[in-house]
Amino acid sequence: NVSVVLFTADLRLHDHPPLRAALDGSRLVVPLFVRDPAVDRAGFAVPNRLAFLADCLRDLDAGLRERGGRLVVRSGDVVQQVVKVAAEADADEVHLAADVSAHAHRREERLRRELEGQGLRLHVHDTVTTAVPPGALTPAGSDHFAVFTPYFRHWSRQRPRDAVDAPRAVRVPDGVGSERLPSRTGIADLSPGLATGGETEGRRRLTAWLRSGVAAYEEGHDDLAGDATSRLSPHLHFGTLSPVELVHRARRAGGPGAEAFVRQLAWRDFNRQLLAARPAVASVDYRARHDRWRSAPEEAEAWREGRTGYPVVDAAMRQLRHEGWMHNRGRLLTASFLTKTLYVDWRVGARHFLDLLVDGDVANNQLNWQWVAGTGTDTRPNRVLNPVTQAKRYDPDGAYVRRWVPELADVTGPAVHEPWRLAGPERAALGYPEPIVELAEGRERFLRARKP
């Protein structure tokens, strides 16, 4: 018998239960990836992620070829393509990783209907894209956790299943045609500092991180210039690394750094269990605060372009554009600046992040935006981050600002975070914008709007 394995956000060979199950049950396997135009239509096929995806598919194909197989790539409606490939290969079953978005739910339902109508079996595997599956942990009286701390208490007591080895050999039936693999060359508008994709690169980074990064994570993770986080987020997004394997390997590494890192992996599962239970929160407020957001297109544009006049905000926004990635502390303070200080709808900011982030992810992006905007699960929804205080705390000597804002590269001392304190002529010579808003005014406006 023959199985089809549909790869989606799990572009790897190590710790891949659907592939393992398919190989255990079948002599021949078709590893399939479908480029679905529905993903483009929903606005998710942006240059940075398409380039990273192309790297992932090439690496997956290379890994399969080393094992005697190959990757089959098709374009079109994912369900129709799976049915077509299954017919061409004379397959009797299809394996797929469970996922959490509304798109993934619909895909699974449609696949089940279509395949079962034709006498094929669909197997959905639930610990491929999360360490702990959505819905596995629930508080009394609800289908999901709305507060992280109790979720994390339960999550920490779980021991995820054992990781599965990569297969030694994969045999693909003859006669199943594939399109050419996509390539990152030729994709326009890429961030110049974009990371490389693929499982090989992901595993290399993971090993280096566990050897020489994670131990200092607890003290270093908030230091903007130190850049002491794992940068594994795009690999988790595309599934070139397995969250189950990460939890096991980090726990084995041990120590406070590894513990703090595992806690962040739990945040990822937390957001996923929330989106799985409430798919609409990708665009609808999780907790309605009856906001009447300001329409401020010029201010929003200054924010996007990194010329708000607040150095740490501008540094982070320029890092995003240059690398297709932003430090978590930067994400927090730029999102707070947009949604609270400027009081602009979180959806405006989330869209811009999704346009550029290589790790741009419906669950993590939308729910972190909601968290910062106070429409999500933050138990202190009205806190406003002050970008100057944040800068002094998390970029104490200004190295991050100087790295990303060349206008301020030669400013010494604390003025790098408050260039408006410089004398008039000195300030004018910088060519750096004046603040687009008074912080105290923005804060008052926001707090007034949120008054019950």
Q: Which of residues 85-144 bind ligand FAD (CB under 6 A)?
A: none
Options 64-72, 92-100, 363-371, 410-418: segment touching ligand FAD (CB under 6 A): 363-371
Q: Is 49 annotated as a binding residue?
A: no
Q: Is 361 annotated as a binding residue?
A: yes
Q: Is 356 in the site for ligand FAD (CB under 6 A)?
A: no
165: tokens are: 């080895």
Options 38-46, 54-62, 68-76, 359-367: segment touching ligand FAD (CB under 6 A): 359-367
Q: Is 347 in the site for ligand FAD (CB under 6 A)?
A: no
What residues contact residue 2 under an 8 Å CB cut-off, 6+ apart?
26, 27, 28, 29, 30, 89, 90, 91, 92, 173
Name which of 176 and 385 has its Cβ closer to ligand FAD: 385
Q: Is 360 annotated as a binding residue?
A: yes
Q: Is 293 in the site for ligand FAD (CB under 6 A)?
A: no
Q: Is 183 annotated as a binding residue?
A: no
Q: Is 104 helix (H, G, I), strand (E, B) or coil?
A: helix
Q: Is 221 in the site for ligand FAD (CB under 6 A)?
A: yes
Shortest distance, CB of residue 234 to ligand FAD, whole angstroms?
A: 8
Rounded to an integer, what distance in angstroms lies between the CA atom of residue 447 and that of residue 440?
11
Options 64-72, 148-156, 261-269, 378-386: segment touching ligand FAD (CB under 6 A): 261-269
Q: Is 375 in the site for ligand FAD (CB under 6 A)?
A: no
Q: Is 233 annotated as a binding residue?
A: yes
Q: Is 368 in the site for ligand FAD (CB under 6 A)?
A: yes
The gap from C-alpha 299 to its chain's centroid, in whole angstroms, comes to: 26
Q: Is 232 annotated as a binding residue?
A: yes
Of the residues 26, 101, 127, 229, which one makes contact with ligand FAD according to CB under 6 A? 229
Options 42-50, 171-179, 224-232, 444-452: segment touching ligand FAD (CB under 6 A): 224-232
Phi/psi at 124 (5° precision): -110, 125
Shortest distance, CB of residue 59 to ligand FAD, whole angstroms?
A: 19
Of the residues 58, 203, 231, 351, which one makes contact with ligand FAD according to CB under 6 A? 231
Q: Is 149 annotated as a binding residue?
A: no
Name which of 231 and 427 has its Cβ closer to ligand FAD: 231
Q: What pairs with residue 28 in β-bridges?
A: 2
Q: Is 48 in the site for ligand FAD (CB under 6 A)?
A: no
Q: State the CB neighbour count (10 A cutoff) for residue 104.
A: 20
Exposed e or buried b for every residue in 330-357, given b needs 16+ CB within 10 A? bbbbbbbbbbbbbbbbbbbbbebbbbbb
Q: By CB neighbour count within 10 A (0-12 exposed, 13-18 middle, 19+ buried), where does 381 fall?
A: middle
Mark residue 186 as left, alpha or beta (left: phi above 0; alpha: psi -120 to 50; beta: remaining): left
Which pairs from 320-324 meet CB under 8 Å and 24+ separation?
320/353, 320/356, 320/357, 321/191, 321/356, 322/191, 322/192, 322/193, 322/404, 323/191, 323/193, 323/194, 323/195, 323/358, 324/48, 324/190, 324/191, 324/193, 324/194, 324/195, 324/356, 324/357, 324/358
Q: Is 267 in the site for ligand FAD (CB under 6 A)?
A: yes
Q: What pairs with residue 45 in β-bridges?
A: none
Options 73-81, 146-154, 329-337, 407-415: segment touching ligand FAD (CB under 6 A): 329-337
Of the residues 48, 233, 339, 377, which one makes contact with ligand FAD according to CB under 6 A? 233
Q: Is 202 in the site for ligand FAD (CB under 6 A)?
A: no
Q: Is 328 in the site for ligand FAD (CB under 6 A)?
A: yes
Name which of 3 and 271 has its Cβ closer to ligand FAD: 271
Q: Is 310 helix (H, G, I), strand (E, B) or coil?
A: coil
Q: Is 96 helix (H, G, I), strand (E, B) or coil?
A: strand
283: tokens are: 């665009």
Q: Is 359 annotated as a binding residue?
A: yes
Positions touching ligand FAD (CB under 6 A) are 221, 229-233, 236-237, 261, 264-265, 267-268, 271, 328, 331-332, 335, 353, 357, 359-361, 364-365, 368-369, 372
